[in-house]
Copies of this chain bind each other. A is one copy, B any other.
């Protein structure tokens, strides 16, 4: 993917959308963790919770990559996974939105 130019106003929109998606995904994870923790009944349940958190942390660390060189793909993935709505990116250039839609569409086929 070639390097796009990001206007200052676009950067502010992107940052806010990125953080909103992160908060949403973490809120869903918090609820899962609380539910799993309530259900802990034997030692192996602790280690299963630990394995679960290790995977989730790796996945989230890898997914939320705010480098502008990969940001359109990140947004496409967040939309495809339901953590972000397309209209939260309103204000980005049409070219960027088109690319995001295209990649998100591929991801959801």
For chain A, residues 1 to 59, give those with C-beta under 8 angstroms from any C-beta of chain B.
22-23, 26, 29-30, 33-34, 36-38, 40-43, 45-47, 49-50, 53-54, 56-57
Question: Given the complex of chains A and B, what is the CA–CA distance between A45 and B33 in angstroms?
Answer: 11
Residues of B within 8 A of A38 (CB): 34, 37
- How many of chain A's residues have a CB under 8 angstroms from any CB in B? 23
30 residue pairs bridging A and B, Cβ less than 8 Å apart: A22-B43, A23-B43, A26-B43, A26-B46, A29-B43, A29-B46, A30-B40, A30-B41, A30-B45, A30-B46, A33-B37, A33-B40, A33-B46, A33-B49, A34-B37, A34-B38, A34-B40, A36-B37, A37-B37, A37-B38, A46-B53, A46-B56, A46-B57, A47-B57, A49-B53, A50-B53, A50-B54, A50-B57, A53-B53, A54-B54
A residues apposed to B, CB below 8 Å: 22-23, 26, 29-30, 33-34, 36-38, 40-43, 45-47, 49-50, 53-54, 56-57
